[in-house]
Structure 1
Amino acid sequence: MGAPQARPGPQVSQRSEPPERPRAEDSVSHRPGAPAAAPRFSVLTPVFETGPALLEEMLASVASQSFGDWEHVLVDDGSASPQVWEWLVAAARADGRVRVVRRELNGGIVAATNDALAVARGEFVALLDHDDVLHSGALAAVSAALDAHDDVDFVYTDEDIITMAGRRSSPYRKPDWSPETLCSQMYTCHLSVFRRSVVEAVGGYRAGFDGSQDYDLTLRVGEVARRVVHVPEVLYHWRAAPTSVAGNADAKPHAFENARRAVGAHLARVGFEGVAVRDRERVNLCHIEPRLVSEPLVSVVLPTAGSVREVRGRWRVLVEGCVESLLERATWGRWELVLVVDPRTDAHVVERVRSLARERLRLVPSRGEFNFAAMVNAGVAAARGEQVLLLNDDTEVLSPDFMERLLVYSLQPDIGAVGAKLYFGDGRIQHVGVVAFEGRPAHCYWGYRGSSPGYFANARFARNCLAVTGACLMVGKDKYDEVGGMSTSFPISYNDVDLCLKLGHRGYRTVVNPNAELHHFESSTRVGLELPPDELALLRRRWASVLDRDPYYGAGFAPETPNFVSVGGAGG
C-alpha cells in the first residue's frame, strides 16, 4: 500500500497569516461520553448553506465509521439560513465527538477550514466536504495504513462520484505517490488525511487559492512529507452537485486558475525550470512549459544498423531520416550525435550521416554479435553531455521542443528516466508509458488513436509510470552510470525496462511527458531478431515483486487489457 519514501524537498518558507480564532462561546463543547484524550482523527468540514438531506447524509457517514476514535469539526461559514446552525448544534448534542463552530460572516472555504484546523485536536486531519460521503470503513483503512509505518505524514484513498440521487459512478483508481502526476492534475483529491503538525508547519490553508486550496496544501505537504501512502480502495464519494466541480466544471471557474497558480508556486519552491500553464481543452489539467536556465549538452545516443524501410510510400534509410528531423526541427541547440554503428551498416550510410551532422557527430563502432544494450552503453561511455538521450534510428521528431520537454524533468535530482509520446506512422499511439500487466511490461494505449485522452486524461499529461521505452529516453549521464547502464543480459528487449527499474530501485522516479512527441516506425533498429522468451524470464527473476504490483497501475483495472479500464466503469 505504501509508496517508496520520497526524498525530502525544500522547506516551505512562506507562511499564511494565522487564522482568526473562533470565539469560545461559538463552539459546542463535548458532551458526556466524548473521549477525554485527543482523538486520532479530526474530520474537518466547512459548511455553507447545505441542504438538510445532504448535511444529514454527510454527518451520518462520519457517525457510522467502524473506527470510532475521531472528532468531527464543522464550521458554519456564515450561512444565511439559521437552520444550518441549528442542525449542526443538534448533531453536536447528539454525539459528543461532533464539535461545531460558527462564523458570523462568510469568509470562504479557506477561512472556514483554517478555523476548523485551529480547534482540531486530532493527530491527523481528514478533509470532508459538506455534501460528500465517506465509506463506513474509510477511517479504519486509513488508520491501518498509518499503523504500518510511524513516519506517514499523508494518506489518500481512491474515490468515485455520487449523484444527487445517490447513484455512484466513475471510480478513480489512483496511482501510488506520484509527485510529477500531482503537478499535472490534483489526482490525490479525496479522501486526503494529513498529519496535523505537518499541515500547521507548512502554514495551513493559504488565502488566494479558493477552489484549489486542497491542491495548494497537498503540494506543500508533499514537499516535506516523510512518507506518503495510497490506500487503493474507493472510500470517498464525491457529490456531483450543480455547485460542485464534480458535477459542473463551470461551477468554479476561478478554481482552475488558482490550481495553475498553486502548481506554479510549487515549481518555484522546488527549483523546476518551467512554468505552469493550463490545458487548452481539459481545464483541470496543467502542463509544465520549459523555461530552462541550465544549458546542458545533450548527447543523442543513436544505435543504427542502417536499416531501410518504406515510410509514407517511399523507401528511406531510417537513420538518415531521424538525423534530418533532429537537424531541421529540434529547437534545443546544445546537442551532439553519438552514432553507434553496427558492423553490418553500409559505409555509404555512415558517410551520409557524417555529411548531415558534421561537427555534432561522434562515431562509435560496435563489434561482435548484435547486442542493443551493449551498443547503447558504448555510446553513453563516449558521450560528453551531462544528459543522454537514447534514441532509436526509426524515430522522427514531431514536436520541435521535445528535448526541452524531456530536460525540464530530467534535470530534477529525483527523476531518472524521462520518456516521450510516440506515434506509429499512421498517427496511432505506440507509446505513452509502460505498465506492468499480467506480470510483464506492456505499453498502455498501444494502437489507440493519437488523440485518445486516456483514463482521466492520463495519456494527455506528464505523469509518473513504471518505465518508458528506450526508443526515446532521456536520463542524466551520472544517474545512468550510477546504476551501471543497460544490462547486456538483455541484448534485444526489456533492457529499457530493466534500466528504469534499476533507477527506481535507487529512488529515482520515471516520467512520461506526452507533450514531447515523435513518430516511431517501430522495431527497425533490430536486425530481424525475434524477442527471446528467456529475456522476459530473466526480467521476472529480477523484478517479480514490482511487475506483480505496479505502483502506478494497481488493483481495480480489468484483467483483459493494460489500458486503465476500470472494473467499475470508465474514467472521464
Structure 2
Amino acid sequence: MGLTIKGLSAAIRRIGAGQGGDGLFRQAPHFAGQVAGLVDARIEDLTVLGKGRLVLHPGSRISFGIKRYLALSALSVQLVLDIEAETVTGPPHLAIDYGAGHTPELTFALRRLDAGSRWGIHVPLPHFVRGLRLEFHGLMLGRTEIRACLVQRSDLRDLLDHLFRMPDLDRRRLTLGKVAGVLAAIERERDAVAEDAAAERPQAALAAAVGQGLLADLAQSAPSDPAYAALAERLDRLTEADRAWMDAETARFARRPLLSVVMPVYEPPVDLLEEAIRSLQRQTYPRWELCVADDASPSFAVRDAIRRLAAEDPRIRYVFRERNGHISEASNSAAALARGDYLVLMDNDDLLPDHALWTVAHAIDRNPGCRMLFSDEDKINLEGRRAQPYLKGAFDRFLMYGHNMFTHLGVYERALFEAVGGFRVGYEGSQDYDLALRCMERCAEAEIVHIPHVLYRWRQLPGSTSMGASQKSYAFEAAKRAINSHFERQGYPLESVDGPFAGIAAVRTLGVRDPKTISVVIPTRNGVDLLRPCLESLLGLGDPLLEIVIVDNFSDDPETLAYLERLRRDRERVVVLRSETEFNFSQLCNLGVARARGEILCLLNNDTEVLSLDLFQRARAWLSIPDVGAVGGRLLYPHGAVQHFGVYTGVGPYGIATHAHAGRADGEHVQFSKSVLLQQFVAVTAACCFLRKADYAAVGGMDEDFAVAYNDVDLCLRLRKRGLKVICDPGIRLVHKESVSRGRDVDPTKVVRLRREAERMEARWGRAGLRDPFYNPAFSPRGGDFELAEFPRVPPPWKDPTSLPAARVEEVPVVAVELRGTAP
C-alpha cells in the first residue's frame, strides 16, 4: 500500500491535536512526532492498524527522497529514525541510490544513536542521491511505532566518528558508490552542456553541484558541548516543586503583564510551526497571547494549521495578509494584533523553554520601568541537540556595532515599539537589528535589561542565519545600513564597514571637525632599545597635534641618558621629565599628566610600538562622543598572540581582574566574535589608554596607593562611576613587549605586594563593585576564558531555591599577573 508524506504529516497533526489515539507518529520528547527533510515517501508491504500503529513484515520498506534545500546545500545528511518494534533482532537498513538503483552493495545498517529506540546513518553528497529506502529485512517485526523520521544536515564530529567506526568494506563501498554517483551526474550534465554550450546555466548547475557539496559554508549543525548540554538539561528540567515555586512567585508579582508574542509566518515546515506554537502552549506563565501574521504563504497547509491551532486556543490571534510584503510588513501586521504590555519576538520555527515567558515576567517585576529586555540563547537542530549557547553580558551599544547582541529573546515595551514606528521596510533580514538600534536611542541604560539565562532555542535550518551569517548576505548589508542610520541620527563620526569575518561589522572612524591635541605620557627607566622604537613609531605618524611626555624614573644607563638628552632638543614635540623616587607607576603617570598640554591623554608603556596608522584619529573620534570616558586598544605580543583586549573584573587571581582573550591568536574567532569586536569593558590596561585630561582630573588621576597593579582598573572604575563608558577598539593596534623592561611578578616579594594591592581593591570596591556586568554569570570565576561553571553564579529564578546547590567559593590559584601591563 502507498502513503505519502502529506498523509504522514496529517497523521501527526491529528495526533498532536489529541485525535487518533497513540498514532503512527506519537509525540516524543526528542522529536515531538517529527517527519522532516523527506519528500515523496512510499510505504510497501506494511500494515497500518486502526490507531496509526504499524505491523512490519519481512519485506516492509519505506522509500523516499531528500528535500531539495538539503540536497543542494549539505555536504552530508543524517537520517534519524526513532522506532519501537515488538520484535527487534537487528538494525534497520538503508539502501542508497546514487543513480544505479538500489543495490545490495549500497545497502547499510543503521547504528544505534543511544540506548533507546533511535537509529541513524550519514549519507554523503546528498545532491547526487536519487532515492533512499529503509528496509527492515525481518529484523524488526510485529506491532511497531515510528515516533520520528527525519533527514537533517550531518554534525561533522558525529559524521567523522561514524565513518571511522564503519567497517572498511562498508566504507569502501560507500566511497565507490559516491564516486560513481558523481561521475554519473557529470556525465548527464555533460550532454546538457554540449547541447547548449552558449548558455551558462548548465555549467553553473554543474559547478553548483560540485561546489555546494564540497564547499558548503558551515553546512554541519553546530557540534554540541557535552558540558553545556548537561547544564542545560539540569536547568531546563522542571520539577513539580519548581512549578509550585513559580506559581507562588507569580502571585507575589507587583504586576502581571500580558506578553504578546509576535510571530510573522511565511511558508515554514508545518511540523516546525506547530512545534513552535506548542512550545508556547507549554509556558508556565499564563498571561500571554500569540499574534500571528501569515505573509501570503503559498501553501494552504500553513493557513490550515494556523486556523486549526487558533480554534483550539483562544490566546492565538491571526491575520492572513493578502499579498506578500516580506518580514517587516508581516511583523508589523502581527504586532498590530497585540493587546499586551510587551511584545516578544519569535520566529515561526524556533522554540521557547517552558519557563521562558515566566522568566521575562519575573524580570519585568524586578525591574520596574524597563522598556527592553533580552536573554541568552542557543541553537537546536532537528534532532533536538542543543549547542552554541550565546551567554551574553549586559547590554552594550558598542558591541551592537559589530553584531546584534540583542536578537533572541527580544522583548519590547509596546509603547516604545509604537513610538519608533515598528519595523522599517527596507531593512528586511536585519529588521530586528534596526528596531533594537532605534529603540535603544530612546532608552536610559537602566531601562534595557539583560536576563542572564538561555530563554530561546534558535532552530538550525538550511538558509537560516543560525547556520552561519553567510547564509543571508543581504541581511548583513541591511545590518550595516541600520548601523549607519543610527550613526547619522546620533551624529557620531563613525561608519559601519565589513568586519574580519562574514556577518560581523567593523567601525571606521571619520575625521572630527575640531581635532583635539593629544599628549602621550610614557614612564620609562633605562631600556633605550625599547623606548627608541616606541617613540619612532609615534613620531612617524606625523600628527601635528601630538605631544610626547617622557617621565624618566631615575635612568642610569649612559646610552639611555644620552638618548633622552637628544630628545629634549625636540621641544615642539617632546617633553622629558625626571623623577628620582622609588618606582610608582601611578605617581609617574600623574607627574606626566600634570605637565601635559593636550586635551586628550594617552597613557602608554615604553615597550610598545604602534601598528595602526589611524591610531589618533580613532581616539579623537571615540572621545568626541560625550559618554565615552576611556578607550583601550588591542595589544599583541611580538609573536602575534593577544596580550590584552580589555579586562574582566571579579574573576581571575584573587577575584579582582584578568586580561580578556590573553594568549589567543590575533585572528581567533570566539565567543560570537567578541574576541575581535569593538565593545565595552569595565577596564582597559594603562599600557595604552586614551582619555580626556578633564576626566582624568575629575576623578583625581591615578591612585598612588596602587604603585604597580590594578591602578588602571581602579581608574576605569572611577570613570564608570561618573557614568562614562570604557571601550576597547580592535582598530587601535600595538605590539606590547610585556615584561621586558621590568620582569613579571614571580618572586615572593612581588607576589606579596600583588596580594596587598588586591586586598586594597576589594576593600575599596567590594565584591559587588567588582562584579563584571559584561562577563556572563554562567562562566566560572576562576578566569576570563569563558569556561562554564558547574552552576551559574546567578541562580535561575524559575528553580525552587531549596533544590539549588549551596553557594560555593571557588579557590583560584594565584599566578603572577600584571593587570596594568608592564611598568618601566
Q: TM-score, normalised by structure 2?
A: 0.61
Show the 5 A alignment for 1:36-47: 40-47=258-265
Instruction: Determine the structure 2 residue equivalent to 1:512.
Output: 728
Whether contact under 8 Å (1:66, 1:137) holds in the other structure is yes
Instruction: Determine the structure 2 residue equivalent to 1:462.
Output: 678
> 2:699 aligned with 1:483, yes or no?
yes
Measured after TM superposition, the shift of residue 122 of structure 1 is 0.8
Instruction: Determine the structure 2 residue equivalent to 1:375.
Output: 588
CA deviations on 1:104-161 (whole Å, 9 max, x unpaired) are 1110000001111222111110000001111111111111111122221110000001
Whether contact under 8 Å (2:648, 2:683) holds in the other structure is yes
Show the 5 A alignment for 1:77-476: 77-226=295-444, 227-279=447-499, 281-293=500-512, 294-308=514-528, 316=529, 318-328=530-540, 330=541, 332-344=543-555, 346=557, 347-355=561-569, 357-436=570-649, 437-438=651-652, 439-476=655-692
- The one of the two structures with greater contact order (alpha-carbon pairs below 8 A, sep at least 6) is 1
Partner Cα separation in structure 1 for residue 286 and residue 566 of structure 2: 74
Whether contact under 8 Å (2:473, 2:503) holds in the other structure is no
Query: Residues 180 and 249 from structure 1, CA distance in 2 versus in 1: closer, same or farther, beyond 3 angstroms?
Result: closer
Instruction: Determine the structure 2 residue equivalent to 1:24.
Output: none
Structure 2 letter corresponding to 1:270: Q
Measured after TM superposition, the shift of residue 380 of structure 1 is 1.5
Structure 1 unmatched ranges of 5 or more: 1-36, 309-315
Structure 2 letter corresponding to 1:228: I
- Report the secondary structure of 1:60's partner residue: helix
- Report the secondary structure of 1:403's partner residue: helix
Instruction: Determine the structure 1 residue equivalent to 2:761.
Output: 539
Partner Cα separation in structure 2 for residue 213 and residue 442 of structure 1: 37
Whether contact under 8 Å (1:242, 1:248) holds in the other structure is no
Partner Cα separation in structure 2 for residue 102 and residue 299 of structure 1: 63
CA deviations on 1:478-524 (whole Å, 9 max, x unpaired) are 21112111111101111001111111111111111112110111135
- Report the secondary structure of 2:454's partner residue: strand
CA deviations on 1:357-402 (whole Å, 9 max, x unpaired) are 5411123333422211011112222222121111011111112112
Measured after TM superposition, the shift of residue 451 of structure 1 is 2.2
Whether contact under 8 Å (2:285, 2:357) holds in the other structure is yes
Structure 2 letter corresponding to 1:382: R
> 2:718 aligned with 1:496, yes or no?
no
Query: Residues 155 and 358 from structure 1, CA distance in 2 versus in 1: closer, same or farther, beyond 3 angstroms?
Result: same
Whether contact under 8 Å (1:407, 1:474) holds in the other structure is no
- Report the secondary structure of 1:364's partner residue: strand
Measured after TM superposition, the shift of residue 546 of structure 1 is 4.5
Whether contact under 8 Å (1:433, 1:465) holds in the other structure is yes
Query: Residues 548 and 38 from structure 1, CA distance in 2 versus in 1: closer, same or farther, beyond 3 angstroms?
Result: closer
Measured after TM superposition, the shift of residue 411 of structure 1 is 2.3
- Report the secondary structure of 1:484's partner residue: coil
Partner Cα separation in structure 2 for residue 331 and residue 509 of structure 1: 29
CA deviations on 1:248-289 (whole Å, 9 max, x unpaired) are 43432210000001111111112211111011x412211111
Partner Cα separation in structure 2 for residue 140 and residue 358 of structure 1: 66
- Report the secondary structure of 1:75's partner residue: strand
Show the 5 A alignment for 1:540-559: 540-546=762-768, 549-559=771-781
- Report the secondary structure of 1:456's partner residue: coil
Partner Cα separation in structure 2 for residue 502 and residue 195 of structure 1: 32
Partner Cα separation in structure 2 for residue 453 and residue 243 of structure 1: 22
Greater helix share, structure number = 2
Higher-Rg member (1/2):
2
Measured after TM superposition, the shift of residue 333 of structure 1 is 3.8
Structure 1 outlier segments of 4+, above 6 Å: none
Whether contact under 8 Å (1:304, 1:345) holds in the other structure is no
Instruction: Determine the structure 2 residue equivalent to 1:522.
Output: 738
Query: Residues 268 and 333 from structure 1, CA distance in 2 versus in 1: closer, same or farther, beyond 3 angstroms?
Result: farther
CA deviations on 1:393-441 (whole Å, 9 max, x unpaired) are 1111112112222332222111111111111111121101111214221
Whether contact under 8 Å (2:603, 2:686) holds in the other structure is yes
Partner Cα separation in structure 2 for residue 81 and residue 253 of structure 1: 26
CA deviations on 1:73-94 (whole Å, 9 max, x unpaired) are 0000000111211111111111
Whether contact under 8 Å (1:332, 1:404) holds in the other structure is no
Structure 2 letter corresponding to 1:540: E
Whether contact under 8 Å (1:435, 1:467) holds in the other structure is yes
CA deviations on 1:515-572 (whole Å, 9 max, x unpaired) are 211011113554888351211111111223356531111222245542224469xxxx
Q: How many residues align?
A: 521
Partner Cα separation in structure 2 for residue 189 and residue 212 of structure 1: 10
Query: Residues 452 and 243 from structure 1, CA distance in 2 versus in 1: closer, same or farther, beyond 3 angstroms?
Result: closer
Whether contact under 8 Å (1:461, 1:515) holds in the other structure is no
Structure 1 letter corresponding to 2:400: L
Structure 2 unmatched ranges of 5 or more: 1-254, 791-824
Query: Residues 351 and 79 from structure 1, CA distance in 2 versus in 1: closer, same or farther, beyond 3 angstroms?
Result: same
Partner Cα separation in structure 2 for residue 478 and residue 295 of structure 1: 16
Whether contact under 8 Å (2:379, 2:457) holds in the other structure is yes
Whether contact under 8 Å (2:525, 2:555) holds in the other structure is yes
Query: Residues 155 and 243 from structure 1, CA distance in 2 versus in 1: closer, same or farther, beyond 3 angstroms?
Result: same
Structure 2 letter corresponding to 1:430: Q
Structure 2 letter corresponding to 1:551: P
Q: Choose 555-564 or 92-101, whichever is displaced more.
A: 555-564
Q: Choose 430-439 or 230-239, whichever is displaced more.
A: 430-439
Measured after TM superposition, the shift of residue 442 of structure 1 is 0.6
Whether contact under 8 Å (1:455, 1:565) holds in the other structure is no
Partner Cα separation in structure 2 for residue 246 and residue 331 of structure 1: 45
- Report the secondary structure of 2:441's partner residue: helix
Partner Cα separation in structure 1 for residue 625 and residue 523 of structure 2: 26
Q: 2:277 aligns with which of 59, 75, 86?
A: 59
Partner Cα separation in structure 2 for residue 390 and residue 525 of structure 1: 17
Query: Residues 559 and 375 from structure 1, CA distance in 2 versus in 1: closer, same or farther, beyond 3 angstroms?
Result: closer
Structure 2 letter corresponding to 1:304: T
Partner Cα separation in structure 2 for residue 38 and residue 47 of structure 1: 28
> Percent identical across equivalent pairs?
39
Whether contact under 8 Å (2:317, 2:337) holds in the other structure is no
Whether contact under 8 Å (1:38, 1:121) holds in the other structure is no
CA deviations on 1:10-64 (whole Å, 9 max, x unpaired) are xxxxxxxxxxxxxxxxxxxxxxxxxxx9952110000000112101110011111
Partner Cα separation in structure 2 for residue 60 and residue 371 of structure 1: 63
Partner Cα separation in structure 2 for residue 525 and residue 189 of structure 1: 45
